[in-house]
Amino acid sequence: MTETILDHAKKGKIIDPVKTVAETEKIDEKKLINLIADGRAVIPKNFNHSIKPIGIGSQLSTKINANIGTSKDFVDLDYEIEKARTALKYGADSIMDLSTGGDLDTIRRSIIREVPMPIGTVPIYQAGLDNKGKAVVDMSSDDIFNTIRKHAKDGVDFITVHVGVNRNSVERLIKGDRILGVVSRGGAFTIAWMMHNDAENPLYKEFDYLCEIAREYDLTLSLGDGMRSGCIEDSTDRPTFSEYITLGELAKRAREYGIQAMVEGPGHVPLDEIGINVKAMKKLTDNAPLYLLGPLPTDIAPGYDHIVGAVGGSLAGFFGADFLCMVTPSEHLALPSVDDIKEGTIVTKIAAHIADTVKDGVRDRARSLDREMARAREDLDWAKQFDLSIDKDKAKLIKDKRRTESDACSMCGDLCAIKMVKEILYKNEVKKR
How confident is the model over 67-112, as pLDDT tens digits? 999 999 999 999 999 999 999 999 999 999 999 999 999 999 999 9
Give the C-alpha separation, 227 to 281, whole Å: 13
pLDDT of residue 315: 98
Query: How many helices and strands (H and E) does the chain possess?
Result: 19, 10
**Nearest CA to 342 among 114, 108, 98, 91?**
91
Going from N- to C-terminal start, the domains of the chain cover 5-357, 362-392, 402-433
Residue 289, pLDDT score: 98
pLDDT in tens, 40-64: 999 999 999 999 999 999 999 999 9
pLDDT above 90 for 356? yes
Grade residue 402 by pLDDT with cuts at 50, 70 and 90. confident
What's the whole-number average pLDDT of the chain? 95
Spatial contact of 124 and 147, defined as CB atoms under 8 Å apart:
yes
pLDDT at 193: 97
What is the mean pLDDT of the segment spanning 389-405? 88
At 134, is the pLDDT very low, low, confident or very high (cuts 50, 70, 90)? confident
pLDDT of residue 199: 97
> So what's the pLDDT on residue 407?
77
Report residue 416's pLDDT band, with 50, 70 and 90 as the boundaries: confident
> Can you give the pLDDT at residue 431?
63
Average pLDDT over residues 307-336: 97
The pLDDT-based confidence of 433 (bands split at 50, 70, 90) is low
- Note the pLDDT of residue 403: 78
- Phi and psi at 40, nearest 5°, equal -90, -10
Contact between 298 and 308 (Cβ < 8 Å): yes
263 by DSSP, 3-state: which? strand
pLDDT of residue 282: 98
Range in 282-291, 292-301, 401-410 the model is least confident about: 401-410
* Residue 288 neighbours by CB distance under 10 Å: 29
Percentage of the chain exceeding pLDDT 70: 98
What is the structure's pLDDT at 131? 74
Angle of CA points 41, 296, 307, to nearest 5°: 100
| Over residues 417-429, mean pLDDT | 75
Mean pLDDT of 197-217: 98
The pTM (predicted TM-score) of the whole model is 0.95
Kindly tell me if the per-residue pLDDT of 283 is higher than 70: yes
- Greatest Cα pair distance, the chain, in angstroms, is 89
The per-residue pLDDT for 406 is: 76
Number of neighbouring beta carbons within 10 Å of residue 155: 20
Percent of the chain with pLDDT over 90: 90
What is the average pLDDT across 358-365? 96
- Under the banding of pLDDT at 50, 70 and 90, the label for residue 316 is very high
Q: Which CATH class is domain 5-357?
A: alpha beta
